[in-house]
Structure 1
Amino acid sequence: MGAAPVIESFAHWSSTGECWRDRPVLLLERATLMRRLLTGSLKSAGARQIITAENEQEARAIIETDLPGMVITDWKAEVENPREALSLVKAVRSSENPAYRDVPIVLTSQRTSRSEVERARDAGISEFLRKPLATGDFLNRVQHAATPRPFVRETRFAGPDRRRKPRTANDPLFKRQRDVEDGLVDALQAARNACYALAVEIARDGCEHARRVSVSLKQYLTAVSEFGPRENEIVEMHRAALVQLDEAHEADTPVRLAVVKGLEDVVQMRLAKL
């Protein structure tokens, strides 16, 4: 739950009547043979210009100057830290430049566990494709990625709308503002559901400081009896704290601990006033 997300057009170039084939396609693939294979597939699909990159720094420069209509990038196979492996995706999605932040991004990877697919989705990719690639599947995913979808900007997420199917009464966890508007759940329960989903996500990363943020939010939402602007303010504070922790992931423990402790102190003061 929380403030309604900012919805923008996706992708930026689609509003001009262009399609992904009309713009340069950026291909970041470190394996030479795979790079040749994907280049050939893109050409056969009608891509007019394909720009290849061999590393992330090169790819970022190309994105900023050439404004591609599609980005196809591999998961850094040699990088164990998923934050670093998806740093290109996050850099694009967090950019303030509307000319390329909503570009469709297709991620190819040999890592296909559920947690890794979810990490990639939450980083803001448009499509995920498992290696080794079949040409037909690859081009289908490229086309799916190019299909205009709403671009969502929230406190902890920027990327194409992850919701592809309408919500129904059979869905197990209603947590969106739209679910409240549709009468599927009340605002407080939606916030509690979102807190539960957040706890699952944090458990996946195993960060103790982030876990304390989740515990703090659960404690607050369990104690309140209604959900309004005041309660939403606390929710947004927890989201902002998680963003701070993510941005300060390389900082010393005292820096990260200060973020969590400050949040916990605010929550305790609010709870004391209930």
Structure 2
Amino acid sequence: MSIQTIRTLVLDDNRQMRRLISVTLEAFGIKKVYGADTIEEAIDLYRDHRFDLVIADQRMGNTSGLEFVRWLRAQTDRSTSFVPVIVISSYSEKTRILEAINAGIDEFLVKPFKPVDLARRIDAVTYKRRDFIRTLDYFGPDRRRFKNPHYTGPMKRADDIVVDCDEFEIG
């Protein structure tokens, strides 16, 4: 897939931040960038356009971009539930990062960020995607960054369903 064909949704209640991210993406060569400032607007846009990448703000006024991530992951259509998600946040506390990871995000990026940091996250979600797993209370990218093939302990998650992301093509 060519970077020019990637359809991207930017969900942020701050118009200037949406514009900054959009301009950065356009500088990378991503030409199809749509913006939403509410979860409802993002869902409507998603139903109309089917995006290849979502960049969402974690905190938006009284709501959270993570609600949108949960909506994505709960969909039965694989092209929706498997869409790569990068969450951006002004907060870097461990609890906020874990909240985002447990919602099913692919990558986390702290504001302010450099364009190269965003480029690295996009590279990670398009070319180095982690397998998806499904448990009783989670669906999303494998939360473990390192897989120890020699670990055989009781928390190995032997009952997890692992979905190979290579089966799912972005775009």
Name the TM-score, length of structure 1 as normaliser. 0.53
Higher helix share: 1
Deviations 1:23-42 (A, max 9, x none): 31101122222222111110
Question: What's the CA shift for 1:21?
Answer: 4.4
Question: What's the CA shift for 1:177?
Answer: 3.4
1:146 corresponds, among 101, 126, 130, to 126
Percent same amino acid at aligned positions? 26
Match of 1:60 in 2: 43
Q: Runs of 5+ in structure 2 lacking a partner?
A: 159-171
Change (3 A) 1:155 1:138: same
Q: Following the alignment from structure 1 to structure 2, what is the Cα–Cα distance between the partners of residues 48 and 78?
A: 28
Question: What's the CA shift for 1:165?
Answer: 1.3
Q: Following the alignment from structure 2 to structure 1, what is the Cα–Cα distance between the partners of residues 55 and 25?
A: 10
- 1:37 matched to 2:20? The reply is yes
Change (3 A) 1:21 1:174: farther
**Larger Rg, first or second structure (1 or 2):** 1
Q: Secondary structure at the match of 1:86?
A: helix
Deviations 1:88-110 (A, max 9, x none): 11010011121211100000001
| Moved beyond 6 Å, runs of 4+ | none
Deviations 1:191-215 (A, max 9, x none): xxxxxxxxxxxxxxxxxxxxxxxxx
2:146 corresponds, among 165, 171, 189, to 165
Q: Secondary structure at the match of 2:78?
A: coil
2:92 corresponds, among 107, 112, 131, to 112
1:71 corresponds, among 54, 69, 83, to 54
Name the TM-score, length of structure 2 as normaliser. 0.82
Deviations 1:104-155 (A, max 9, x none): 0000001211111011001000000001121111111121122333222221
Q: Which amino acid aligns with 1:66?
A: H
Match of 2:82 in 1: 102
Higher strand share: 2
Change (3 A) 1:73 1:85: closer
Taking only aligned residues, the RMSD between alpha carbons, in angstroms, comes to: 2.2
Q: How does 1:184-203 map to 2 (within 5 A)?
A: none
1:26 corresponds, among 2, 6, 9, to 9
Q: Runs of 5+ in structure 1 lacking a partner?
A: 1-17, 179-274
Deviations 1:46-95 (A, max 9, x none): 1121111111101011122211010001012433x7xx552111010011
Q: Is the Cα contact below 8 Å between 1:20 and 1:146 reproduced in 2?
A: no
